[in-house]
């Protein structure tokens, strides 16, 4: 591992641990999300996440009153079957990840933006580094949520196909 990658991995690990430490033992809500994930040139894969979201904290940005909440997640993206066009086995195993970051809401109805860093177990052509960046655009109701999520390493390591997924979930 190069020094550059080791430095980024240390930064991601520190950020994940800090975000996780910000969540109280009894989170404000827990979420179970599931859906399908797609990456360029490959078949769809199943995806599942479990999230703990902390209490919302107010802040002001550009004169707008918003809230942010720390979040920690565990995630899984399933394997893809090998097809005739893509016979490489580096996409045929699951990827597990631990994520930590923040969720911002209050800018439009019940919409939210999530920004996380993730540490991954296993590598694929889509998620090819031990750290990934996660961005989420979602809508949350009282007990339901819908989210569009993208995970990639921001071209710090190649290949960098990333994963884009549509998730539905339950909040409790």
State the Cα angle at 93 between 87 and 95, rounded to 5°. Answer: 135
Structure tokens at 102: 């923040």
Residue 158: is its pLDDT beyond 80? Answer: no
Q: Calculate mean pLDDT across residues 95-121.
A: 92
Q: Calculate mean pLDDT across residues 87-91.
A: 59
Candidate from 7-11, 71-75, 137-141 with smallest mean pLDDT: 7-11
Backbone angles phi, psi at 78, to 5 degrees: -75, 170
Question: Among candidates 73, 70, 91, which has minimal Cα distance to 82?
Answer: 91
How would residue 115 be classed by pLDDT, with cut points 50, 70 and 90?
Answer: very high
3-class SS at 109?
A: coil
Do 127 and 106 contact (CB within 8 A), yes or no? no
Backbone angles phi, psi at 138, to 5 degrees: -145, 175
For 110, residues 6+ apart whose C-beta sits below 8 A from its C-beta are 139, 140, 141
Burial of 89 per CB tally in 10 Å (0-12, 13-18, 19+): exposed
User: pTM for the complete prediction?
Assistant: 0.80
Residue 88: is its pLDDT beyond 70? Answer: no
Question: Among candidates 106, 104, 39, which has minimal Cα distance to 70?
Answer: 104
Q: Specify the pairing of strand 45-53 against strand 111-121.
A: unpaired
Residue 73 has a pLDDT of 94
DSSP state of 85: S
Instruction: Report how far residue 17's alpha carbon sits from residue 9's, in angstroms, rounded to the nearest whole number.
Output: 12
How would residue 135 be classed by pLDDT, with cut points 50, 70 and 90?
Answer: very high
Tens digit of each residue's pLDDT (9 = 90 or more) over 4-51: 555 555 555 555 555 555 555 567 889 999 999 988 777 788 999 999
The torsion of the CA quartet 149, 162, 94, 8, rounded to 10 degrees, works out to -100
């Amino acid at each position: 591992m190069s020094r550059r990658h080791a430095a980024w991995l240390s930064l991601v690990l520190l950020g994940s641990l800090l975000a996780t430490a910000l969540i109280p033992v009894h989170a404000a809500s827990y979420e179970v999300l599931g859906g399908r994930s797609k990456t360029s040139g490959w078949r769809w894969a199943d995806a599942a996440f479990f999230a703990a979201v902390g209490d919302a904290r107010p802040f002001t940005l550009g004169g707008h009153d918003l809230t942010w909440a720390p979040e920690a997640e565990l995630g899984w993206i399933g394997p893809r079957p090998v097809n005739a066009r893509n016979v490489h086995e580096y996409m045929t195993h699951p990827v597990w990840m631990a994520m930590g970051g923040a969720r911002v809401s209050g800018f439009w109805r019940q919409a939210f933006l999530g920004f996380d860093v993730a540490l991954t177990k296993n590598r694929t052509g889509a998620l090819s580094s031990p750290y990934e960046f996660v961005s989420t655009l979602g809508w949350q109701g009282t007990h339901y949520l819908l989210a569009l999520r993208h995970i990639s390493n921001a071209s710090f390591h190649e290949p960098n196909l990333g994963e884009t997924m549509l998730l539905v979930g339950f909040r409790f």
